Amino acid sequence: VCAPEVPVSWKNMDFIMRRIVDPTFHVISIFCYLTAAIIHFILPQLRDMMGNILSTMSVCLAISEAADMICIYTEFTSPSAFLTADFVLFTSLLGAFLWLNSLGFYIWKTSRSHNVFLRITDGKKYCYYSYYVWGWTKVLTVIAIISHFFLDVDTDFPEHHGLMPREVAVGWLGVALFFFPVACTILLDLYFYLSTTQVMNSIIMSEYGHIHHKLKHSNKIFFKIFLIMSEYGH
């Protein structure tokens, strides 16, 4: 039985918020993320290890916003497109949080090294961090897809997140497999920040130099991004 056509009214506040206001803010977010990624990629003084990670994170978040916007317009029209966009949304978010975790680890490890901010090794380090992030992202995404189609159990309430049936939206088991690693990275990020802050505070002021100031500034930026993305994850 085909679903009846729902008349669209431009005076309906729910329609305006869902189909006009929400996508507009998504477009603004995509523009901001891509602008940040391009700036960090173009400017030589920002194209270090931290800049590369921030640029990649911005692209991941832009993809997640685009996928979420696709979900808005395909929610009741194209189930396959909605499910695909849903998986892309969660995968890109997972990648962004793993890159944030890599940034925290990089700053934490650098604060304990005597040979810090050697830009000549940034390219090789970025490759190593990419293997970690994209490797885990692919593995967890495949596990989530398998669990969604073969392991997710039916309940008395067929709706999943977004009030969509199982065949359309990612089930709760798949969502849990995406966000449990995110919760683990949040705890690790908090440890990295507190540990790095403790190391920086233990350095005598007379020993402070340009490298230490830059490292301390990088740690503050990491913590601010951590707070914003933690709220985003909620």
CA dist 185 and 35 (Å) reads: 26
- How far is it between the farthest Cα atoms of the chain? 77
Angle at alpha carbon of residue 56, lines to 53 and 59, rounded to 5°: 150
Distances (CA, A) of 180 to 69, 146, 165: 24, 16, 22
Tracing tokens 């402070």 back to the chain, one arrives at: 208
Alpha carbon distance 138, 65 (integer Å): 19
208: tokens are 């402070």
pLDDT in tens, the chain (234 residues): 455 555 555 667 777 777 788 889 999 999 999 999 999 989 988 888 899 999 999 999 999 999 999 888 877 677 788 888 889 999 999 999 999 999 999 999 888 876 655 454 567 888 999 999 999 999 999 999 988 888 765 554 444 444 444 456 777 888 888 999 999 999 999 999 999 999 888 765 555 566 777 888 899 999 999 999 988 655
pTM: 0.83
Residue 202 CB coordination number (10 Å): 7
Cβ neighbours around 215 below 10 Å, total: 21
